[in-house]
Structure 1
Amino acid sequence: MSSTTVNLGGEAKSGTRIGMKIGYAVLYIVLIAVAVFQIYPLIWLMFFSLKNNQEVFNLSPFALPSPPHWENYSKVWNAGNIDTYFLNSVWITVAATAGTIVLGSLVTFAITRMKWKLSSLVLGLFMVAMMIPVHSTLIPLFSMFNKVHLIDNPLSLILSYVAFNMPITIMILLGFYYALPKEVEEAAVIDGAGIHTVFFRIVFPMTSSVLATTGIINMIYNWNEFIFVNTFISSDKFKTLTVGVQNFIGQYTTDWGAIGATLMISILPILITFLFLSDRIVEGIAAGSVKG
């Protein structure tokens, strides 16, 4: 009787292990399929950027031209003024992202750590701002910037990006700030630290993981933004990559290979940034989702 029970228990465990292995195998197959589906557009764009107009329309999407037209990249970088657009995209994105993170952190700190009557109202106003469509603000913003002489000025882009990214930044930071232990701040206050010291030397460094999450979200929006640049900027010296790609679209001909090379150049910084910050992003999302 005992030997029969042992055999049945061993068979059950063996069956469980086999079932788990099959489950993991199916899971890996699904994840690999999803990953291939996600990477497919990047591979297609890479091959697309190495072709001329005839090869774009005559060859298969995955056919690599012989030889590859690497001169597309040098052409857009030098003759297409993409180097200027690229540098504009970099410094405007960095400036707007840094401003949003600092201001968003200050607002979140004031809402979660300081006691004042209108804190709930202010938080509600920021959350309501998330429901305002970007397109509905173009005419009022253009009129306002025109009155203060900020049309065709990069400052108009930075101010717009900061304003529209503040609500989502605050929403992400709120959960993390609520989870931060207040004992550290109270100990610093007892030691004589002021409110600015508590924020900049204690709280702000403690939120580095969630700041990486908000940073990458802000960078993706700012880097890929098109509407504000196309509306507020007219000079080539201030344009960014998203608008600069239009230089290769003519009235009668379009240089598709150059467009592909420009798009590939515009994607690389975001991919590199994400690869370096991916661990911090996941950590920040997990930490910001817990309140208590």
Structure 2
Amino acid sequence: MLKRRLGLTVGQILLIAWTLLTLLPFLLIAVSSLRDNAGLFNYPLGIGGTYHASNYATAWKGPSGTTGMVTYFRNTGLAAVVALLVTLTFGTTAAYFATKLSQRSRSAFLAVFLGGQVVPFVLILVPYFQVFNALSILSNPAALGVAYGVLTLPTTVLVLNSFFTDFPQELIEAATVDGLGEFSAYLRIVLPLSKGAITAVGMLALIYVWGEAQLGVVLLQSPQSQTVTVGLLGFQGQFTSDLGPLFAGLSIASIPVIVIYLIFNRFITKGIALGGVFR
């Protein structure tokens, strides 16, 4: 009994330490967002000196030569919505109906998406630019959202296919007996019961879209079309940088993802608890 309590105590201490270690970078960014350049260098840990809440106002309207956070949020939101529509619509459907294939065909089908996971990202930058330039859709956040949706498809398909493999077939058979076709059963039975897994995968895609900058730098050349991550790069000057507003912009940019996670947390937890997301 004593050994069990000691083990639980040690485990809790390790979890608390890990949580603090994870939160530390966010706390440092939040403190740094209230500093000017002199304060950041004189008080690297944020203790002492003066604080400047005006950094947030500067970050919100954007330094000279930028369009401000309102435009960045609008563009990022558009790209994220399009990306989620693409990856969840096509990825969920492909993942489910792949379970209906023979074992050999299913393995070959999933191998295509697995290959998409291991291709170095830098190799697709030039082809993406050439395609977007040829179609005259550079500096288009919605078009970038389609690209993001395609890039997140492998993760969506691979994770959800694992979930749908264990989906109770009795429910689908009962729906078929009641007169539903295969696709109708998928829409009316499978999808409503898979909200946890789909939400978890959607959060993974959203975090990727919200934080991706490399492709955005290449495809979003107009300042009015830039997303949050690309726009924040403009906070750095060629020779000098005002780091306080930059950290303030990073703090502002993290708020929507945190809020969305808090709203959908119960669906994500349920999906993981059912054993259908990561196993």
**What is the TM-score with the length of structure 2 in the denominator?**
0.91
- 8 Å CA contact 2:87–2:153 kept in 1: the answer is yes
- Residue 251 of structure 2 corresponds to 264
Pick the aligned partner of 2:26 from 39, 42, 63: 42
Amino acid at match of 2:113: F
SS of the residue corresponding to residue 113 of structure 1 reads: coil
Is the contact between residue 130 and residue 167 of structure 1 (CA under 8 Å) also seen in structure 2?
yes
Residues 1:222 and 2:209 aligned together: yes
Which residue identity does 1:78 align to in structure 2?
K
Q: CA deviation at 1:264?
A: 0.5
Residue of structure 2 equivalent to 1:5:
none
User: Residue 72 in 1 paired to residue 55 in 2?
Assistant: yes
In the other structure, the counterpart of 1:28 is 12
Residues 290 and 187 (structure 1), Cα distance of their counterparts in 2 relative to 1, 3 Å cut: farther
Q: CA deviation at 1:18?
A: 2.2
- Alpha-carbon deviation of 1:117? 8.6
What percentage of aligned pairs have identical amino acids? 29
CA contact (8 A) 2:95 2:160 kept: yes
Q: Report the equivalent of 2:170.
A: 183
Are the structure 2 counterparts of residues 239 and 289 from structure 1 closer, same or farther at C-alpha, using a change threshold of 3 Å?
Answer: closer
Q: Would the aligned equivalents of 1:49 and 1:264 in 2 still touch at CA under 8 Å?
A: yes
Alignment counterpart, residue 234 of structure 1, candidates 215, 218, 221: 221
Output one character per residue of 1:139-181: Cα deviation in whole Å (capped at 9) or x when no partner: 1111122222222222331122111111111111112101111
CA contact (8 A) 1:49 1:258 kept: yes
Per-residue deviation at 1:115? 6.5
Deviation at 1:116, TM superposition (A): 11
* Match among 105, 111, 116 for residue 129 of structure 1: 116
- Secondary structure at the aligned position of 2:76 is classed as helix
- 4+ long deviations beyond 6 Å: none
How far apart are residue 205 of structure 1 and its match? 0.9
Question: Shift of the alpha carbon at 1:138?
Answer: 0.9
Aligned residues: 274
Give how far 1:259 is off. 0.4
Deviations along 1:31-67, one digit per CA (max 9) or x if unpaired, are: 111111111111111110001111111124131543x
Tell whether the 8 Å contact from 1:111 to 1:120 is kept in structure 2 after alignment. no
Question: Offset of 1:251 from its aligned partner?
Answer: 2.1
For residues 197 and 10 of structure 2, what CA distance do their matches in structure 1 show?
33
**Distance in 2 separating the partners of 1:141 and 1:95:** 17
Opposite residue 229 of structure 1, the aligned amino acid is G
CA distance in 2, matches of 1:231, 1:252: 22
TM-score by length of 1: 0.87
Q: Pick closer, same or farther for the CA change 1:263–1:230 going to 2, 3 Å.
A: same
| Equivalent in the alignment of 1:288 | 276
2:42 match: 58
CA contact (8 A) 1:174 1:288 kept: no
Residue 265 of structure 1 and its aligned partner are, at CA, apart by: 0.9
Kept after mapping to 1: 8 A contact 2:96/2:160? no
Q: CA deviation at 1:246?
A: 2.0
TM-superposition CA deviations, 1:117-144 (whole Å, max 9, x none) = 9544322211211111111011111112
CA-atom RMSD in angstroms? 2.1
Q: Distance in 1 between matches of 2:190 and 2:261?
A: 24
The separation in 2 between residues aligned to 1:223 and 1:95, in whole angstroms, is 12
CA distance, structure 2, for counterparts of residue 153 and residue 60 of structure 1: 39
- Structure 2 distance, partners of 1:117, 1:190, is 28
Amino acid at match of 1:61: L
Unaligned runs of 5+ in 1: 1-16
Q: Which whole-Å CA distance do the structure 2 matches of 1:248 and 1:91 have between them? A: 22
* Residues 196/271 of structure 1: CA separation in 2 closer, same or farther (3 Å cut): same
Which residue among 231, 246, 271 is the counterpart of 2:233? 246
Instruction: Please state if 1:200 is matched with 2:183.
Output: no
Contact 2:159-2:278 within 8 A present in 1 as well: no
SS class of match (1:250): coil
Q: 1:250 to 1:25 in 2, by over 3 A?
A: same
Q: Matched residues in 2 for 1:195 and 1:117: separation? A: 21
